[in-house]
Structure 1
Amino acid sequence: MLADLFASPGTLALGALTGLVFGFLLQKGGVTRFDVIVRQFLLQDFTMLKIMLSAVVVGGVGIYGMRAAGLDVGLHVKDAVLLGNVVGGVLFGIGMAVLGYCPGTGIAAIGDGSRHAIPGVLGMLFGAAVYAEVYPAMKSSILATADLGKVTFADTLGVGPFALAIGAAVVLIGALFALERFAPKSAA
């Protein structure tokens, strides 16, 4: 398992380059700023939601498009553990609302020079370490409650994953247009 943490220099360089591009795009999108994230939670600025919906559309269509084209895109479907997802989502949401960053935007904010994000990112790392320690106990309690197994929306709906990705893309693009038309504009 430890060997999985190490990769070839080319793979590491590609990962670093991808991270730099991701951080650059987050910074250009404005979501490395605390106030943009907090205003999203207050439903006053939908910049973050627009960026996330755009990423879901591009990622979903891209991944399933590559798979439909026969490319070997490894997807590792995790168990759909409803109680674990609810508890994790609530904790993640509280942390994001209090800190004003998610893990990706927190790291990008540090890269953008926001020193106040450093304690938050350290807290995220501490939380991940605590979770790793309590995981064995949680596996037989919270993570065993309402475990639906390795199920996807495509499986549940009985449609192909690429068709579902295209349908979801149409809906999400519609949501993006509605947000652009009707949602409050950013004050920044």
Structure 2
Amino acid sequence: MLINGLVTGVLFGILLQRAEVLRYDRQLGALRLQDMTIIKFMLSAIIVSMVGIHALVDLELAKLSVKPLVLGANIGGGLLFGLGWGILGYCPGTAAGALGEGRLDALWGIMGGLAGAAAYAELYPAMKATLLSMGDVGKVTLPQLLGLGHWPVIVIFIVVVVAVMRLVERKGL
């Protein structure tokens, strides 16, 4: 099974490189909402993943393990992630890909991520009782909140994403 992960990772890396989402100027353009290449790539990956995962679950070839929604952890983590992405100009995945292409500036982000992971491990006991439990909503999904099955939500998401992508294309972004 590990070979499947390696092959999938290599193919995904090739797609990242071919779509030019590893480039700093593309990252900066996405953060400034001036170049939607990365946003379109991410939304396409989300759609493929949603369909693939739910098809596997429906065919009983996989099991979906829903994690609890903890607003404090998600908002805090999202802000930290966004801040790091904004400062460095790479997210963790694209930093690794950029380093693989020889861009040594990405190494700072990778080292910062490792330092952040170490700091998180040290601060985890203190944060567990505060930020990491603040706003614990439990194990909920969007289809559950909407009172719909997962396929209608997926179809609605795809329709909205395609409409937004078409609008973005018409605007030349």
TM range (shorter): over 0.9
TM-score by length of 1: 0.87
Q: 5+ unaligned residues in a row in structure 1: which ranges?
A: 1-10
Partner of 1:59: 49
Contact preservation (8 Å) 1:33, 1:109: yes
Does residue 27 of structure 2 align to residue 37 of structure 1? yes
- Alpha-carbon distance between aligned partners in 1 of 2:108 and 2:63, rounded to the nearest angstrom: 34
Which amino acid letter does the alignment assign opposite residue 88 of structure 1?
G
Q: Percent identity?
A: 43
Deviations 1:133-186 (A, max 9, x none): 2222211101111110111101111111122112211111111111111243xx
- Alpha-carbon distance between aligned partners in 2 of 1:169 and 1:28, rounded to the nearest angstrom: 23
- Alpha-carbon distance between aligned partners in 2 of 1:20 and 1:12, rounded to the nearest angstrom: 12
Contact preservation (8 Å) 1:50, 1:179: no
- Alpha-carbon distance between aligned partners in 1 of 2:145 and 2:83, rounded to the nearest angstrom: 30
Partner of 1:125: 114
RMSD (CA atoms): 1.3
TM alignment of 1:92-171, pairs within 5 A: 92-171=81-160
TM-score by length of 2: 0.94
Contact preservation (8 Å) 1:53, 1:176: no
Partner of 2:169: 180
Partner of 1:19: 9
Deviations 1:74-97 (A, max 9, x none): 222111111211111111001001
Which amino acid letter does the alignment assign opposite residue 48 of structure 1?
I
Partner of 1:8: none
May I ask how many residue pairs the two structures share in their alignment?
A: 173
Contact preservation (8 Å) 1:46, 1:183: no
- Alpha-carbon distance between aligned partners in 2 of 1:124 and 1:131, rounded to the nearest angstrom: 10
Which amino acid letter does the alignment assign opposite residue 36 of structure 2?
F
- Alpha-carbon distance between aligned partners in 2 of 1:74 and 1:106, rounded to the nearest angstrom: 31
Q: 5+ unaligned residues in a row in structure 2: which ranges?
A: none
Contact preservation (8 Å) 2:24, 2:90: yes
Deviations 1:17-48 (A, max 9, x none): 11111111111111111111011111211111
1:148 partner SS: strand
Which amino acid letter does the alignment assign opposite residue 105 of structure 2?
H
